[in-house]
A = this chain, B = another copy of it.
Amino acid sequence: MSETGIHRVVIAGTGNVASRLGHAFKAASIQIIEVYGRNTAKAKALATSLGTSYVTEISAINVEADLYVLAVSDDAIAILSQMLPPLHGLVVHTSASAPLPVGSFSHTGVLYPLQTMLSHRNIEFSEVPLFIETNSDEQTKRLCSFAGQLSAKVIVADQLTRMRYHLAAVFASNFTNHLYSIAFELLAVNGLTPELLHPLILETALKAVEGNPEDSQTGPAIRGDVKTIKTHLDLLDKRPDYQQLYENFTGLIKNYYSKRNE
């Protein structure tokens, strides 16, 4: 039992975020009374792994929960909110961008975790920054206290602030992950071993969090190594799209450090 008055939780959604949040709730001994999902197989699978029951009709949702977590896509949030029956509990979504949910409920808010989540990957949830917002000071206090059971980093923040963090996260995580995919592809198409990049990928991430990334840039672009840059563009001659990305980055890195050294 927490001191927040939030004891009974319903999770709406069966995707990556619903699954990881559900497991974080479970690990924190928070009572999940139900999972809602339109897809029976997915709703059943998540409910089973969380040791709870499920519904597939929004009209049948348990109306006695203290917290409803809408872990669904931005577009689905608005639709789902309108379809919910009248509720006394706090209704939150988990999106960076969407406005507060609106429907037949008076307590509304956001619980946005700044982390990349895959349903099958366990993560250290206590380190995940949780951004919260609600429509009243009282609910913010409750949600803050509730979120504190999940993570050591709870931040009260408005929609614009969440969106700014999300935008930064897209650069630091989504685009970065695609660079890994490109690097792996460039090796695999030549019969080479992508796994040899693993120590490099980990060290690059580690040095960024243990220091400051702008102080630890290496490579041909910051060195102004025109010969190597030319060689690399030649090696990419069958991939004009990757040549363009290479030139885009090389230009950005040069500008960044020439401005910095002015």
Contacts and interface: CB of A to CB of B under 8 A. Distances in A.
A28 to B, nearest CB: 17
Number of chain copies forming the complex: 2
Interface string A222-250: 11010110011001100001101110110
Contact of A192 (B161, B204, B231, B244): B161
B190 A164 contact: yes
B177 A208 contact: yes
Given A183-B168, A218-B117, A178 B74 contact: no
Contacts of A210: 121
A219 to B, nearest CB: 3
A60 interface: no
Classify the secondary structure of A's interface with B.
Answer: helix
Contacts of A123: 203
A79 interface: no
Contacts of A168: 183-184, 186-187, 192, 194, 197
Interface string A187-224: 10010101011111111111111111110111111110
B208 A167 contact: no
Interface stretch (A31-39, A51-59, A252-260): A252-260
A73 B207 CA distance: 22
Contacts of A204: 116, 172-173, 176-177, 205
12 contacts: A73-B225, A115-B203, A116-B218, A121-B211, A129-B196, A164-B190, A172-B179, A172-B183, A172-B197, A174-B218, A175-B179, A202-B209
Interface of A: 16, 73-75, 96-97, 114-118, 121, 123-124, 127-129, 153, 155, 161, 163-187, 190, 192, 194, 196-214, 216-223, 225, 227-228, 231-232, 235-236, 241-242, 244-246, 248-249, 252-253, 255-256
